[in-house]
Amino acid sequence: GETYDARMEIPDWSKAGTPAGLWKKVAVLDTFHVRLVAQQDPPIRVSELITPVSIAEPKKGIYVFDFGQNMVGWARLSVQAPAGTVIEMRFAELLHDDGTVAQENLRQAKATDRYICKGQGTETWEPMFTYHGFRYVQVTGLKEEPTKETLTGIVIHSSAPFRGKFECSDTLLNQIWKNITWGQRGNMMSVPTDCPQRDERLGWMGDAQIFAPTAFYNMNMNRFFVKWLRDIADCQDTSGYVYDVNPAIVVGGPAKPGWGDAVVVVPYVTYLFTGDRSILEENYDAMKKWIHYMDTKAKNHLYEFGDGDWGGYGDWVAVVPSPTKPTGGLYYYYSTKLLSEIAGIIGKKEDSVALAGHLPLIAQAYNAKYFYPDSGHYVANTQSMNLLPVAFGLAPENLRAELIKKVAENVVQRDTHLTTGFMGTAYLLPLLSDYGYHDLAWKVATQTTYPSWGYMVKKGATTIWELWNSDTERPEGMNSRNHFAYGSVGEWYYCYLAGIQPDITQPGFKRIIFYPRPVGNLTYASADLLTGYGQATIAWKKIGNQLQIEIQIPANTSGIVRIPFEKGKNTEIAESGKLIWKDGKRVKSSKGLTFVKQENNYIEFEAGAGKYHFLVQ
């Protein structure tokens, strides 16, 4: 926090004639060992002002302002009081039962600002050297009853522009999406922090890599991640390992599996969403060094790392814990696979071939130890341990459908609940949807009992929690109410509900895949995305037995359009009033559309830039 004594202000300090003796002399350094560069990422700016929704007085002279939203920034104070009056503001995400602020989950962070009045009419002040994560502000020292004008919430974050929006007919999902965006904006503070309120605020790599696709849908993260990846490379050890947090100011190396791999995953995701090869070229050496480090530590192609929470994080804070050691082999395979692809993209063909040749050996070593053929599942048989080998392509292709079936059965056995942690959650719903369990994915997404995103909302959350059970876990310690990692589900909203995603063969949305998948009682969904080429939009609506789909493809791009249909039904498709599909075959061509193929549950067209209006019945 910050303490400011307004009585010590120097009148007219910036005007000529003010005595120079009032200022302390600066210290001059003889040597300077760092290189000064211009700021490389979007500056942190004020983005919004929030008025309190209510003011309570739980105890005499103690006022608690509720801003109605867990936010990041500070409070602007406007007050009249005699000189020497100390106004204290304490910030918190939660309240005690007696209505006062609860700061136990902030650990050592004081989260307190103090303003000492100078006694000259209405005084307006806000801090310059701190920020807080909070919904509530407790104020003491006021000489009169406050109004909603006494405090104004100042929202700040890195000014990467918002570019994506999701909306649907389900109010719960809309609130979850809103919570995801608030969690993102509050933790994008020049580095992707884990949380904004307690004594941490660190650039944890695992959180960032698992959330990166969702982050790119919501905001233009290119410059933000370019800068942060330079932080990672700057801190990389000479042996090749990177650190769990970057800048690496705490937590020793090497980074744990899933955390260190951000050095490979984040450049790849950035390329996918921007099409900018330079991000791959600039970070290639750092990526290669990390893979080489794992190569040197692997035994017979099996990379394992530690036991227990701090030996290896594993599927962090999962409802049903998975063993931590297998995570090493999973991410060793995944990062090697991505780097092989990256090497091919930037023309390093020998590296690409060599890395690809190593993949079967890694997979064979991992599967030999951790796959149980008699029971047909991976070690521990948890949702995450069966999900991740499929997600990363390590599981043999002929086993993948059966593995996801086991995941689906486990979800059903748990009354439609997930058990995944940070690493597994991002892949659960996409894989369920891809392998024929889209309805089940929908039920998990809209679940409102513990553990679920809906449970957070039902408990009053306005951001995403660190723990699925943050409301019942001990109030002190590791229990943030603003942690973006579980917000990785946002990617599923855009890709699988609205139906818009980039195409890795033509990245940066040079070619866009549109594939809406109506499900459950959802009657409409839409996504707007400002790409580097212009606005891309998809919106669909169900009216009776009709499905209306509107698509906008930006200039100088193309689209793959997949129209869903139910197998065995006589589906008709019209575009802009012209019938183009009937009785299982094309009827007429439509301007800009080229038929590609028919699959079990969709018909695929290639589309040029423009607007399209489909009617499916």
Interval 428-456: pLDDT, tens: 999 999 999 999 999 999 999 999 999 99
Task: Write down the catalytic residue from 200, 304, 491, 575.
Answer: 200
362-393 residue pLDDT tens: 999 999 999 999 999 999 999 999 999 999 99
Please report the pLDDT score of residue 309 as a whole number: 52
* 528 pLDDT above the threshold of 80: yes
Average pLDDT over all residues of the chain: 96
Does pTM top 0.85 for this prediction?
yes
Q: What does the block give as tokens for 311?
A: 């030996």
CB 95 within 8 A of CB 28: no
Q: What is the predicted pLDDT for the residue at 157? A: 98
CB of 315 closer than 8 Å to CB of 424: yes
What band does 252 get if pLDDT is binned at 50, 70 and 90? Answer: confident
- Whole-number Å distance between alpha carbons of 236 and 283: 12
Cα 496 from Cα 445, distance rounded (Å)? 12
CA distance 131 to 138: 15
Type of residue found at 105:
N
Show the tokens assigned to 49: 């002002």
The answer to whether 200 is a known catalytic residue is: yes
pLDDT at 570 over 90: no
Cβ proximity of 271 and 277 under 8 Å: yes
Contact 169, 518 (CB under 8 A): no
The DSSP line for 426-438 is HHHHHHHHHTT-H
**Rounded CA separation 169/110 (Å):** 42
User: Looking at 53-67, 257-271, 402-416, 576-590, which range is the least confident one?
Assistant: 576-590
Q: Examine the residue annotation and report whether 409 is marked as an active-site residue of this protein.
A: no
Nearest-angstrom CA–CA distance, 139 and 142:
7
**Catalytic one of 93, 126, 304, 466:** 466
- Rounded to whole angstroms, the Cα distance separating 602 from 564 reads 4
What number is the average pLDDT over the span 506-511? Answer: 99
Determine the Cα–Cα distance for residues 406 and 402; give it in Å rounded to an integer.
6
pLDDT at 561: 98
The three-state DSSP-derived secondary structure of 201-222 is: CCCEHHHHHHHHHHHHHHECCH
pLDDT of residue 307: 61
State how far the Cα of 597 lies from the Cα of 594, in Å rounded to an integer. 10
Strand partners, 351: none
**Mean pLDDT for the stretch of residues 231-240:** 97
Q: Which residues contact 223 (CB under 8 A, 6 or more apart)?
A: 40, 41, 42, 160
Give CA separation, 515 vs 59, 161, 441, 591, 596, in Å. Answer: 55, 26, 16, 20, 14
Helix (H) or strand (E) holding 423: helix 422-434
Q: What is the pLDDT of residues 270-326, one digit of tens each?
A: 999 999 999 999 999 999 999 999 999 999 999 998 765 567 899 999 999 999 999
Residues 6+ apart with CB under 8 A from 173: 445, 446, 493, 497
Cβ–Cβ under 8 Å, residues 221 and 270: yes
For the structural domain made of 44-158, what CATH number should be given?
2.60.120.260
d(CA 558, CA 511): 5
Find residue 453's DSSP bridge partners. none
Tracing tokens 């973006």 back to the chain, one arrives at 484
Q: Quickly name the fold that domain 499-616 has.
A: Maltose phosphorylase, domain 3 (2.60.420)
Burial of 93 (0-12, 13-18, 19+ CB in 10 A): buried
User: In the chain, where are the structural domains located?
Assistant: 44-158, 201-448, 499-616
Overall average pLDDT of the 448-466 stretch = 98
Give the pLDDT score at 583: 87
d(CA 316, CA 194): 13
What number of other Cβ atoms are within 10 A of residue 348's Cβ?
A: 19
Could you please state the CATH topology (level 3) that the domain comprising 201-448 is classified under.
Answer: Glycosyltransferase (1.50.10)
Q: pLDDT, tens digit, for every residue of 87-134?
A: 999 999 999 999 999 999 898 889 999 999 999 999 999 999 999 999
- In angstroms, the CA 212 to CA 15 distance is 48
What mean pLDDT is predicted for residues 237-245? 96
For residues 198 and 365, the model is more confident at 365
If you write DSSP's letter for every residue of 306-355 in order, what string do you get? -SHHHH---STT-SS---SHHHHHHHHHHHHHHHHHHHHHTT-HHHHHHH
The confidence band for 21, taking pLDDT boundaries of 50, 70 and 90, is confident
Q: How does DSSP classify residue 118?
A: -
What's the rounded Cα separation, in Å, for the pair 442 and 611?
29
The Cα 180–Cα 461 span in angstroms is 11
- Identify the burial level of 102 via C-beta atoms within 10 angstroms of its C-beta, where 0-12 means exposed, 13-18 middle and 19 or more buried: middle
